[in-house]
Structure 1
Amino acid sequence: MFLRGAGGVAVALPFLESLRRRGAARAAGPGGARLVVFFTCNGVNVESFFPATPGPLTEASLMESALQPLTAYADKLLVPRGMHMVPKGWGHDPGTAGNDHAMGMGHKLTAQALDPDTLFARGVSVDQFAAARLNDDGRPSLTLSVGWRHTNWLGHISYAGPGMPVTPEGNPWLTYQDLMGLGGLDEQAKQRIAVRRQSVLDLVEDEFKALKAKNLGQADRVKLEMHADSIRDLELDMLGNGLVACALDPARAAEIEAVDPDSVLLDDHFKAIGRMQLDILAMAIACGATRVATIQWGSGSGGPIYRWDGMDHEYNHHKLSHGNTEDDDSGDEVPGHLDMLTQIDRWHAEQFKHLLDRLSAYEEGGGTVLDRSAVVWMNELSDGKVHSYLDLPLVIAGGADGYLKQGHYLDLLDGRDPWDLPYPHNRLLITLLNAVGCTDDDGGPVTKFGRSGLEEGEYAELRA
């Protein structure tokens, strides 16, 4: 292990083939299949989100869609179209509670109805279910967020159990401290590290040198240096955005100490914070700190005002999803709002690509960490204007070590009426759990997940 944190949580070295004992079974940690959920809110512009024609994905087929930034990963993507949320939206299921936004947030990872008293989901979410089975000691999924979010049911997608929402961490410096084992240090100790301009790498310098002195293969040497570079780059990136008291002079450290931590939630920091969270997530996944993670962008019935990367919007994401200047639709129509939604969808695709880039940078077992992962992009809604729970926008990257089909855009409906509701999304969750090696309580494949009475079994259409 490279850096050990409190409670056994660690940012470990990437798996080094040179140090693996011949014939030894691979232990829990780096090397197993991983599950990552990339979650966005308020729906998409359905007309421009999907590729034009079902079939093999190519750069050309992605170019005219909002998924255009993902062209380099065309052969590693699976885009299944035609699934609907369960329990259903619009009050179409007996026993459901909450408005469409609350259901979109609470149902997606749990496939459970909301408690009518609290509006929190009545069951465990797929990420926490998987983490309990895949992580050492069953530790929870790494649960992150970006930007301002509601503190109620509209701001939670992950659940440890019925009525037990898991609050995501939105501050990358706090996330990083926990992973690096710095969370237990008092503020004076952190300031001493800052004044001495130390990296966390300095704390394990001797061990790092001793490891490099071993008879490592060339590939492992490159991997080891890349891991160290990744940590240094992450520290410098956070330093440049004024979030980390590492390598700071005392005056700068004092200035940072005085910053309101809520500033990380401001729209102006949305992109920078998001990239930091993605880098930390990828490193934690690749290095064995966790095999399961979620990252939530914004909040249901909320979201930032996008004013960067060529966007200069006047209204926040939720208002644009309705094409109206007011959240309750009492205002005026926003001219060109569909084009703005496409811009936002494409920007999210760029962030998804950044995550795939980071996971692909870690080589492992003849492939990459991405190859051994299932990275699924999900959304609270489909068409945000009508709060649709049909035709969910879904993108899966990585084959989970050969389990999942890749390089395809699948129109599951294939001409069928979507109101037949033939493809409930809980079966996608079942498929993902099996893809990353989860089992049921009896040690067999997972066959059901979510609310009692839902259709069971995985989707053969998504299997390689």
Structure 2
Amino acid sequence: MRRRNFLRGACGVAVALPFLESLGWRRFIKTARAAEPGGKRLVVFFMCNGVNMESFFPAAPGPLTAASLMGTSIEPLADYAGKLLIPRGMHMVPKGWGQDADTPGDDHAKGMGHKLTAEALDPGTLYARGISVDQRAAQELNQDGSPSMTLSVGWRHTNWLGHISYAGNNTPVTPEGNPWLTYQDLMGLGGLDEAVKMQIATRRQSVLDLVEEEFKALKAKNLSQADAQKLEMHADSIRDLEIDMVGNGLIECALDPARAAEIEAIDPDSVLEDWQFKTIGLMQLDILAMAVACGATSVGSIQWASGSGGPIYKWDGMNHEFNHHKLSHGNTKDDNSGEEVAGYLEMLTQIDRWHAEQYRHLLDRLSSYSEGDGTVLDNSAVVWFNELSDGKAHSYLDLPVIIAGGAGGYLKQGHYIDLIDGQDPWVQTHPHNRLLITLLNAVGCTDNGGPVTQFGRAGLEQGEYGELLA
């Protein structure tokens, strides 16, 4: 094989040059993608404190339509009804309310630590004893084995109440809550001076513009006429390729320059403030969608606030007096010792609906990236998890879960499925670890060359939920 020379632009795009007889050297700068664009993705959208169970779900199981979502908290998802899968009736494992032995921690700690791991908490640290589903998927789907992209919005609890993602036993993965730091990490800008960061991150340029100086240096090396012609022909071919990038499903790992500039301008001291909650969240969602679309990662998660916490919602028509956790209990005090908050259920519905709007934004962004005959969303499983079901009761029963995208045709879409056929959730026949198994198989993970059959604590039920498969 003849040697080739490579140039790499600032946005991480390799330019392979034809072998130039005038140059007796090889140049290669490597910045590999973590994942190949076009593969399956797993994205976790995680909300804390539970939901208003009376308004969250459609009226009855069956096909999902825009009409069936009207009047619910998830009405903002009406345009995606045909791409949604809502499984109902699952209970969290290990169980809450002291129903399982050797499960330390209060119900908030369990809701945070159990949900993505299906593992009990360590009695000393209250961190989960096993890997989370996002990190397990990333180990296999990211070609370099890099971890899942782990993001947060309004993250304040730095202990077990602030972690949903785990690299292994007692190994929580701290989420990044500053979108500018998220973007710098994604673009490989760590350690560069600010002028260079801005030059790279806030402009979207042609690959040839980004490596212009290196092309000039090559041209200055007294190339033969034949080599000079090869170089010009190669430059022309790259220009033609760039015109066809979108049509061929190649997505640049960079945001629009104006959006990147907005992210850079965020005051780092304000990212945890309630008034920034929506702004920071949308920025993180834009980065997350772009990262999974362009192949920077195949797996990511975004965590809204922390267990037993949350902001005071005072935007988009909401003007609440108490934070999310207090409202989840309908009480003016976090410890439930205060007065009942009048109208708190309606406020919870407003919060749930607002989060549905943010989830829709994520789906909009993933749908905006074309891929093959569909979009990135079509090749993804985008899962909305919640720490609890009924927050006032700290319930681990009848978990609210929504999945968007069919993971490349693996999962049903456009269905609301009652897994327990109308029985009382106390029957506890459908543990949520089997949903995690289903998700791992949906995105192409394997176990010793075959399908994944178990995940979570030893002794839990095995196998995926066939009811959810296409």
Shared fold (TM-score, shorter chain, > 0.5): yes
1:444 alignment partner AA: G
Q: Tell me, in whole angstroms, the C-alpha distance in 2 between the residues paired with 1:215 and 1:107.
A: 47
User: Which residue number in structure 2 is paired with residue 344 of structure 1?
Assistant: 351
Alpha-carbon RMSD across the aligned residues, in angstroms, is 2.5
Q: 1:206 pairs with 204, 209, 232, which one?
A: 209
Residue 444 of structure 1 aligns to a residue whose secondary structure is coil
Q: Following the alignment from structure 1 to structure 2, what is the Cα–Cα distance between the partners of residues 415 and 215?
A: 55
In structure 1, distance between residues paired with 2:196 and 2:13 = 25
Match of 1:90?
97
Is the partner of 2:82 in helix, strand or coil?
helix
Q: Which residue of 1 aligns with 2:263?
A: 238
Q: How does 1:345-384 map to 2 (within 5 A)?
A: 345-384=352-391
In the TM superposition, what is the alpha-carbon distance from 1:420 to its structure 2 partner? 1.5
Question: What is the alpha-carbon distance in structure 2 between the residues aligned to residue 70 and residue 332 of structure 1?
Answer: 34
Match of 1:191 in 2: 195
Hey, what does 2:465 align to over in structure 1?
459
Q: Distance in 2 between matches of 1:82 and 1:73?
A: 22
What is residue 314 of structure 1 aligned with on the other side? 321
Distance 1:461 1:276, change over 3 A: same
Which residue pairs with 1:161 in the alignment? 168
Q: Which runs of 5 or more residues in structure 2 are unaligned?
A: 1-5, 15-33, 213-234
Name the count of aligned residue pairs: 424
Shift of 1:213: 1.4
- In 1, the alpha carbon distance for the partners of 2:201 and 2:385 equals 39
| 8 A contact 2:201–2:257 mirrored in 1 | no
Q: 1:305 aligns with which of 309, 312, 335?
A: 312
Paired position in structure 1 for 2:31: none
- Does residue 279 of structure 1 match 2:286? yes
Which has the higher mean CA deviation after the structures are superposed, 133-142 or 316-325?
133-142
Matched residues in 1 for 2:76 and 2:416: separation? 16
Q: 2:124 matched to which residue of 1?
A: 117
C-alpha spacing 1:50/1:3, structure 2 compared with 1 (3 Å)? farther
CA distance, structure 2, for counterparts of residue 173 and residue 340 of structure 1: 31
Q: Alpha-carbon deviation of 1:197? A: 9.7
Q: CA deviation at 1:48?
A: 0.1
How many Å apart are 1:34 and its aligned residue?
0.3
Q: Is the 8 A contact 1:405 1:463 kept in 2?
A: yes
- The structure-2 alpha-carbon separation of the partners of 1:164 and 1:361, relative to structure 1 and needing over 3 Å to count, comes to same
**C-alpha distance in 2, partners of 1:309/1:283?**
25
CA contact (8 A) 2:13 2:207 kept: no
CA contact (8 A) 1:11 1:284 kept: no
Whether contact under 8 Å (1:31, 1:364) holds in the other structure is yes
- TM-aligned CA deviation for residue 445 of structure 1: 0.4
Whichever residue aligns with residue 380 of structure 2, its letter is: S
Counterpart in 2 of 1:415? 422
TM-score (norm 1): 0.86
Distance 1:103 1:3 in 2: 46
Task: State the shift of 1:342 in Å.
Answer: 0.2
Shift of 1:212: 5.3
Q: Deviations over 1:337-367 (max 9, x none)?
A: 0000000000000000000000000010110
The CA distance in 2 between the partners of 1:215 and 1:360, in whole Å, is 23
Answer whether contact 1:81 1:394 (CA < 8 A) is retained.
yes
Whether contact under 8 Å (2:253, 2:296) holds in the other structure is: no
Given candidates 136, 140, 158, the residue that maps to 1:129 is: 136
Structure 2 distance, partners of 1:85, 1:383, is: 13
Aligned to 2:29: none
Per the alignment, residue 175 of structure 1 pairs with 182
* TM-score, normalisation: structure 2: 0.85
Letter in 2 for 1:366: D
Partner of 2:39: 32
Corresponding residue of 1:51: 58
What is the identity, as a one-letter code, of the residue corresponding to 1:231?
D
CA positional deviation for 1:222: 8.9
* Unaligned residue ranges in structure 1 (runs of 5+): 14-26, 244-258
Q: Is the 8 A contact 1:2 1:204 kept in 2?
A: no
Query: For residues 384 and 423 of structure 1, what CA distance do their matches in structure 2 show?
Result: 20
Paired AA for residue 235 in structure 1: A
| Deviation (angstroms), 1:237 | 3.1
Identity %: 68
Question: Which of the two has higher C-alpha Rg?
Answer: 2
Counterpart residue identity of residue 74, structure 2: L
Structure 1 residue 413 displacement after superposition: 1.4
Quote the offset at 1:218 in angstroms. 5.3
Q: In 2, are the aligned partners of 1:42 and 1:381 still within 8 Å (CA)?
A: yes
Structure 1 CA distance for aligned equivalents of residues 7 and 440 of structure 2: 29
Q: Find the residue that maps to 2:85 and give its secondary structure.
A: strand
